[in-house]
């Protein structure tokens, strides 16, 4: 990584992603160069088909670029095998999805503790960490409830607590308020804002200007390109 990029927790250099649909090539990302410093709250915006979700998947090491380089906390992602990528995700990233992605058969405590199982934590330590996080997001009295017994906003708070279980440096959020009413969405965004103020880097995809307004940096995408960047 070049010295000029060394202070970026996320650095992309001419990243391209091309899909083959039948005989047609679709350029989902058409040469993205980007740097995001630690502690930034960043919103990725743009119309449907602009490449927002593709970019987030690449940032989350859930997909690989067709060409170009992606450095995550100084690690050249292109040089890592699948096991090393999984380890990097566990170490640096927490994920929050529009559809919550909670496991319906598990309690709040068990859902929050799930990433710790993959880190090899013992059951007692995992449970204690899960209770601590449930209390942090205001759900200390719901730790034995199943997702079906919670409101949408409560489920998203469980998802945020789960994203924090491994104490990641970066939280990636994909339309985190997309399934919530506006008042509940504001509560979730205030929680993300407070996490950012405590030092977490937040990278969020949204198409809603009022949600993007919580972010200090807004990356506007169109047709696989970064159209412009706002720093507020």
Label residue 4 by pLDDT band (50, 70, 90): very low
Whole-structure pTM value: 0.91
Maximum Cα–Cα distance across the chain: 55
Q: Would you state the pLDDT for residue 3?
A: 41
Domain spans in the chain, listed from the N-terminal domain onward:
3-231
Structure confidence by residue, pLDDT tens digits, 27-75: 899 999 999 999 999 999 999 889 999 999 999 998 889 999 999 999 9
Distance CA 23, CA 190 (A): 46
Decide if 202 contacts 195 (C-beta within 8 A): yes
Residue 137: phi and psi, rounded to 5, are -95, 15
What are the start-end ranges of the H helices in the chain?
A: 52-59, 82-92, 108-118, 123-136, 152-164, 182-197, 209-212
Q: Would you state the pLDDT for residue 2?
A: 44
Residue 86: phi and psi, rounded to 5, are -60, -40
User: What CATH number belongs to 3-231?
Assistant: 3.40.50.300
């Amino acid at each position: 990584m070049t010295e000029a990029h060394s202070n970026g927790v996320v650095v992309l250099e001419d990243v391209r992603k091309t899909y083959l649909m039948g005989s047609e090539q679709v350029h989902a990302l058409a040469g993205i160069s980007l740097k995001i410093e630690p502690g930034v709250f960043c919103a990725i915006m743009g119309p449907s088909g602009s490449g927002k979700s593709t970019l987030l998947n690449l940032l989350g090491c859930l997909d690989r670029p067709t060409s170009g380089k992606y450095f995550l906390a100084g690690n050249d992602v292109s040089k890592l095998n699948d096991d090393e990528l999984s380890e990097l995700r566990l170490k640096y990233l927490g994920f929050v999805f529009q559809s919550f992605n909670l496991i319906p058969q598990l309690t709040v405590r068990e859902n929050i503790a799930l990433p710790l199982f993959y880190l090899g934590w013992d059951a007692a330590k995992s449970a204690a960490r899960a209770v601590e996080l449930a209390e942090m997001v205001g759900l200390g009295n719901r730790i034995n409830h199943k997702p079906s017994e919670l409101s949408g906003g409560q489920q998203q708070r469980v998802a945020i607590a789960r994203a924090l279980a491994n104490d990641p440096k970066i939280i990636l959020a994909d339309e985190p308020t997309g399934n919530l009413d506006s008042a509940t969405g504001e509560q979730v965004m205030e929680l993300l804002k407070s996490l950012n103020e405590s030092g977490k880097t937040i990278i969020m995809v949204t198409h809603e200007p009022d949600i993007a307004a919580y972010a200090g940096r807004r990356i506007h995408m169109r047709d696989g390109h970064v159209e412009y960047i706002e720093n507020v």
